[in-house]
Structure 1
Amino acid sequence: MKATLKYPIFQFSPDENMVYTFWKENKTTQLALLKEADGWKGDIVIDSTGTKYTVRRSYMTGWKGIHGFTGMSTGMISYETEYEDNPEPFSLRQLQERIAERYPKTRCFREECWDSVDDFRQTIFACKSFEELAETMMPKHEFTVWERIQDYFFRGFFLMLGGMLLYIIWLFIKKAWLWIVG
């Protein structure tokens, strides 16, 4: 069954501790990840309406870029996900309990500098909606206009710098060629 999910969504494997949060739909991954995860078969996806979907399979629908080569990444593909036919309701409280029980056991918990497990649990149980819980788990970062201007300025600066470097190399090659030829 194909499903239209309301974002943000939470995805986790029944036998792992990590809970992943996604703010928008992204149907791109690496072929190696898709194969390694066996198409995320059996993973549980909970959308912000409180509906629990179980992944039946995910499969490749096409290559991204030039046969999977996009910039520095290789093996990039588009994929689709099919879910089991019987979605179930999943309350916010159930999700909070799942996260409070399992997430502190992950490496990411220690890296995110929570003061203590009790502080984390208190913060998780204080959330009143799926969106608020998603914001706690993975803050949604939106670029401001100023950040975008800075980003494009630095890109332009480094492009000009690279162009100047290539021009200087070209001049040296030209001088060397004229010196060799005579």
Structure 2
Amino acid sequence: MSLAGRGVVKMPDNEDLYSPEQVRDQVQTWLMGEGWSLSEKAHEGASWLVQAEDPAQRRLLVGQTKSPADQVRIQATVVVAADHREHFEALPSEVKDAILWELRFRLLNMSVDFSGIGEPLERVTVAQRIYLDGLTKDRFLQRVAVVKNALIAVIWSIGRRLSHLPAPSSHGDVLIH
């Protein structure tokens, strides 16, 4: 019995039950149903990879890893604008440390994996993964929302702390890898 039509891609004891293409098609259907625009990308470490952009132009990468083959990764990267980087580097070291620790704890509380929160502050990547045995529409879209909110939290946190510069919008300075 296929569960895919009911929003469920279940991978019990047999990972080959659903091919990567079937998982990709289901994930794309769910994202498009929520208003995301999609474009396919290539990546050597992924069975498939799509860039998803919401109506506010926030971009995420969603893909099924080749190893381990039973997970879908949802990721976004914020590239800190050059003027913000320069201003950040000019801050006293204790202020920079406070900004970085605040951002680390904020993302930790959001339950996302993250990297790049250090000096130099050039790019911050946030991500979550979902394993195929738990892949449902609800669980997947909840993780998409968490990654999107973490992306916004990074942009707003940096913009707020460097407030004498124009704050970046919630969709600016975003680059996906």
TM interval, shorter chain, is under 0.3
Query: TM-score, normalized by length of structure 2?
Result: 0.23
Higher relative contact order (CA 8 A, sep 6+): 2
Query: TM-score, normalized by length of structure 1?
Result: 0.23
